[in-house]
Amino acid sequence: MRSQQGTLLGLSFVAGLFWVFVVQKWMFLNVFSGVLAGPGLPLNDYLQLANEPAFTMLWISCISALMIWLWITFRARPRNGAEVRRMKPLWWTAAVILVLLGWLYQLFFSIIIWQLQGQSPVQGSGMNFFLLPPGGWLLLTMMVMINVTLLFWLPTLLASPRTYRLVVPGAVKILGGR
């Protein structure tokens, strides 16, 4: 990895942290509060007990996938372009799994965990899950995809080493003419 790639990887890591734990949280509270909050859903409780753990888990998953990707591509000594391109399906598989995991985390922390524990996340509501409006679910679905883009696609695009530099989707268009 060249030093420029190392710097970009570091910057994208910091940007990811900042996005997940600062910007996104602020956006849910201030920009999308109307979309997320519905009747009987205290937004602060939801964000603290479901939204944040779900996105933290997604962040950990993305960082783990990124590390595995970098470890594999660093160690590989491909003999030709076809061998390099064989990493493309692996990248897509990782990206799809991360998106599915992201959605699963949302479901898990909003509904499944409360069902399993038999508890109600909102005292006095009588419901053992967070009742998000359809628009809220749609927003979370989109945000999971944006998170995977920022936390997996961007760092792999910027920091895939050596001959793997252009194997990430979109890299040929964005970096190919360097």
The contact set with other proteins (CB under 8 A) reads 2, 77-85, 88, 162-163, 165-167, 171-173, 176-178
d(CA 63, CA 102): 13
> Could you count the other beta carbons within 10 Å of the beta carbon of residue 48?
12
The SS3 call for residue 32 is coil
Task: Name the residue nearer to other proteins (CB basis): 132 or 157.
Answer: 157
CA dihedral 126, 34, 55, 59 (to 10 degrees): 180
The SS3 call for residue 73 is helix
Shortest distance (Å) from residue 167 CB to other proteins: 5
Task: Name the residue nearer to other proteins (CB basis): 114 or 164.
Answer: 164
Shortest distance (Å) from residue 8 CB to other proteins: 15
Shortest distance (Å) from residue 122 CB to other proteins: 49
Task: Name the residue nearer to other proteins (CB basis): 73 or 147.
Answer: 73
